[in-house]
Structure 1
Amino acid sequence: MNNAIARTTALLSTCALLLTGCGGGTSTVTNSPTNSPNSTPNNTATNTPATTGTSSGAIPIGIGVAQTSNVALLGQEQVAGAKLAQKYFNSKGGVNGTPIKLVFQDTSGDEAGAINAFQTLINRDKVVGIVGPTLSQQAFSADPIGERAKVPIIGPSNTAKNIPEIGDYVARVSAPVSIVAPNSVKAALKQNPQLKKVAVLYAQNDAFSKSETEIFQQTVKDQGLELVTVQKFQTSDTDFQSQATNAINLKPDLVIISGLAADGGNLVRQLRELGYKGLIVGGNGLNTSNLLPVCKALCDGVLIAQAYSPEHPGEINAAFRKAYIEEYKKEPPQFSAQAFAAVQVYVEALQSLDKKSKINKLQLPELRTQLNKQILEGVYNTPLGEIGFTPTGEVVQKDFYVAQIKMEKDGSQGKFTFLK
């Protein structure tokens, strides 16, 4: 990604800008999520004036994440975090007095869905930039759409290798798997220093899981451990008896799973049901409380590396955490925090850009270009902690964690307990 910025002033002037620079069709399709991040929102068509966003001149920022399909367990958490960011920053005056308006498009769980959502956000909804998509596999297909259109893209959860290298307009607030994943293996070794044998299972049809498992397998070797088997599955699978049995027969001390919440949770459950009693490490795709209803009590003890902690000190995280708990009655997950941070980057970059050159005087293509540059120049104090970007759009983040799932015996409730 390159370097640039954006921000606003007078509502009438901004409205005029958006009318000429961001104006598009006569309707904007937005998703209207319910209050629960675990419920799937529906698409509703909202008729609007020729401007994009609202008639008051709100600045449109696209949110292209998975709200349907098996990936929705993650995407719904991103919707929740983004909506909290919109409410928080608009309550603080938005972009120098002009509010932001999030425009939601459902990417579903595949590449075609992500491409369609990005094209709609760029060409019809005329957004200044996009937060999304949910999966790295989707990013490799959809991000080039934004790159060709010169629209900034901030990946909220795309941690596979080479995501920022897709193009100059692509960045991410999600730390690469190469930085995060090894921490959970080290935590497992700390809990069981006698650990020697490791079995790895991963979703072969998911680009992120394939990227993540390479990191896990290299970490196993780097730690002097024996990799006894590598088993493959599909994210759409529900029966893992064969893979689980093959792994258990080799008597591993640790099992590492790279997949998504639904398949990963079922795999954890079936490993335990078949008698596996050793440690389990889950990858980033399992890093959601939506995993808990899948494996219930059998989720207990799973270790997952984290790029976010609800207990991270700082005013912005305290405000985010408080708002999330008030809205959803539970601690905020990483995917929500990263989505909040991505929206925050856009807001603060727009604010900074407006101080340099009033964004209400920029045509949409120039606004997008300048915003793209400003994003990379900034340093942002987010719920994730302080973050910035390299010249290529890679996130620079300092703080990482490991959590272990602790479940009630009846499996009715559970939580991520952060290890010291």
Structure 2
Amino acid sequence: MAYLVINLFITAKTIDVRDDAVVIDGTGKTLTPGFIENHAHLMLMGPSLPTMESNTTWEDFAIHGTRMAEMYLMQGFTTVRDAGGANGGLRRAIDAGQIIGPRYYPSGAFLSTRGGHADFANYTAPVGEETNFSRLNMAQEVDSVAEVKKYARNNFRMGATQLKYMQSGGVVSAFDPWQLLAGSPEEVGAAVEVADTYGSYVMAHSYRKEAIIGALNAGVKSIEHGFMFDCEISELMEEKGAYITTNLTAFDPNLLEIPAVKNVASSLAKAKSASAAFKDYIPNMKKCPAPRGFQTDCVGSVDACNIQIAYEKKLNNDFFGPYESLKTLTSVGGEIATLSGDFMNPYPDAKLGVIEKGAYADILLLDGNPFEDFSVVGTGDQWFGADKRPDSPESIKLIMKDGVVYKNTL
């Protein structure tokens, strides 16, 4: 069987090869769709939120985002959804061919209450004071229905393809317990209302069961993290046509040894509490599965995120096996991409995450069968303390996006 790629699309399955055609012989290799990352932060360079707030300029963020975009593509990700902190500029540069990167779905500024999970201001910052993050439209403080609507509209104006609302707290953030229920139902609903007017949707950072159910009932279509997922939530997700993306590194047995957790007393206490509360996620997802997209949620250096991505791939296979993991990496992400609708979706002309006639020509060739050896997708056996990874996994022999070959080591 041969696949013909014309311009950006897969156009035929059986062809007569012309004498002047470029033939890529994939004999013995496994052809898959390009991978899809559903929750990244390409602009957030670390090493900490206070550093980014006080000592980072727009040039620093832009250079980091450019390097992250290329890294993701060379790891086999031909599409990335950014879950907060990026506007439309990086996508425009990628799509114009000015820089190398994946298809890109930015969410604009995080929408967060005062003291919420995206309140990145310095501790002494007065209420309402402009911050580095707000000035660059990377995070905005929203404490009323009117403010939610204003900054949600501004996000779409600045190039967002969907919105991100921070409904729960976190572990390593400064002001918020992970149990936080941030934002009233009316405020979450206001974000959904604005997204609906643009034909798009809202993704919500939601940990607690009450937060997840509240988000779904407000019209949120993508639950981020969702660590207290259970069968009741699965049924509600099916009813609402919603998706979930979860960073499985949260269930890493060495989570409490991570420096950002171990070395900060408040974060360590929150991590211990969260780990106990989230223990049923994996068995619940196996018992009553919901459509789950791949996410890494890495904030930090390019090398650190490269390592975390590879480890996240491994954990997916460890917990759910190769079939579900490949779906998570490909077709489910393609479905999530369509949620941004006909108007806000920058790539509306074909399917993503599948190999079929008419789909976008985003293609990988793997040196082996992932159902027999999942490491061929580019996994890593270790997270913190791991050695620097190669710029691109040796086992990914071909990377094609938009019908353009970015890597070919066959």
TM-score by length of 2: 0.30
